[in-house]
């Protein structure tokens, strides 16, 4: 793996396939990059090229994931447990696992509730989810702008951000195209919920989750 320093940033070029960009970096105009397709990314992962690195493929670019602190990891596990109970049989909450959204995107949301069970995704990653949840602290800007646009473009109807910075749940729904938005899509409805409010996942109407159960 070749590493090239550019100004104060470091870009990682995995064997000429694409450019790996630390989130928040600005790529200079003279830096040549190549978009990476999901099938190429998966092949490199299978070959062990990115062993030990926390990466996501977002719209053809490899993005370095933020390190998880203890609160982030603990809350993600807690949310997975809550959603497993609420959704019940026939649904499987996957934690920090790939979601094959399209030919150039394979994010790894903190929690994604998918149809079926664990064995249903041995051969291939799921391509959609009934609910996607991101736990946000330092990643809040990324989740609100880039991740939301990506999930909206993929047609995911229910996207939640557990905002650890402000102690609220952001419920993003009703995806629609918008030319100026990230990836050309936004969620038209964004609801901010605080304890003691409750929330109901779209896929399981009639259920009630206290917001307090999703926060530290």
Q: Which residue ranges make up each domain of the chain?
A: 2-64, 70-214
Q: What is the pLDDT of residue 3?
A: 37
CA distance 174 to 176: 6
- What percentage of the chain exceeds 70 in pLDDT? 85
Rounded CA separation 1/60 (Å): 18
When pLDDT is averaged across residues 184-210 and rounded to a whole number, the result is 98
**Could you give the C-alpha distances from 94 to 98, 115, 124, 127, 194, in angstroms and in order?**
9, 10, 14, 13, 25
| pLDDT tens digits for range 97-113 | 999 999 999 999 999 99
Q: Mean pLDDT across the stretch 121-138? A: 96
- Dmax over CA atoms of the chain, in Å, equals 54
Beta-carbon count within 10 A of 206 CB: 5
Sheet holding 131-136, edge to edge: 91-95, 111-115, 131-136, 158-163, 168-177, 185-193
Q: Which residues contact 119 (CB under 8 A, 6 or more apart)?
A: none
Q: What distance lies between CA 101 and its chain's CA centroid?
A: 10
Query: Which has the higher per-residue pLDDT, 25 or 163?
Result: 163
Lowest mean pLDDT among 63-72, 74-83, 140-149: 63-72
Spatial separation of the C-alpha atoms in residues 35 and 57, rounded to whole Å: 10
Q: Yes or no: is domain 70-214 CATH 2.40.50.320?
A: no
DSSP labels for 69-137? PHHHHHHHHHHHHHHHHHH-TTEEEEES-----BTTBB---SEEEEES-GGGGSSS--S--SEEEEEES
pLDDT at residue 20, rounded to an integer? 52
Confidence of residue 53 (pLDDT cuts 50, 70, 90): confident
Other CB atoms closer than 10 Å to residue 125's CB: what's the count?
17
CB-based contacts of 117, cutoff 8 Å, min separation 6: 92
pLDDT band of 50, cuts 50, 70, 90: confident
pTM of the model: 0.84
Per-residue confidence at 16, pLDDT binned at 50, 70, 90?
Answer: very low
- In the numeric block, which tokens belong to residue 179? 């030319």
Beta-sheet pairing, 2-6 with 209-210: unpaired
Q: What is the pLDDT, as a whole number, of residue 69?
A: 85
**Residues present in the chain in total:** 216
Higher per-residue confidence, 70 vs 176: 176
């Amino acid at each position: 793996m070749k590493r090239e320093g550019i100004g104060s940033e470091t870009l990682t070029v995995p064997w000429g396939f694409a450019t790996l960009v630390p989130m928040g970096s600005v790529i200079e105009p003279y830096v040549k990059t190549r978009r990476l397709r999901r099938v190429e990314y998966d092949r490199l992962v299978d070959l062990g090229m990115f062993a030990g690195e926390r990466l996501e493929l977002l719209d053809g670019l490899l993005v370095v994931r933020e390190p998880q602190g203890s609160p982030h990891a603990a809350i993600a596990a807690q949310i997975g447990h809550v959603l497993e109970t609420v959704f019940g049989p026939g649904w499987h909450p996957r934690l920090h696992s790939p979601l094959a959204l399209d030919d150039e995107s394979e994010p790894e949301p903190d929690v994604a509730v998918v149809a079926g069970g664990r064995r249903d995704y041995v051969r291939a990653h799921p391509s959609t989810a009934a609910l996607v949840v991101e736990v946000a602290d330092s990643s809040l800007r990324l989740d609100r702008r880039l991740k939301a646009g990506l999930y909206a473009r993929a047609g995911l109807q229910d996207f939640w951000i557990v905002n650890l910075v402000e102690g609220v749940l952001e419920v993003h729904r009703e995806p629609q195209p918008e030319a100026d938005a990230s990836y050309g899509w936004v969620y038209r409805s964004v609801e901010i919920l605080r304890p003691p409010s409750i929330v109901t996942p779209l896929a399981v109407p009639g259920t009630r989750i206290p917001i307090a159960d999703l926060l530290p």
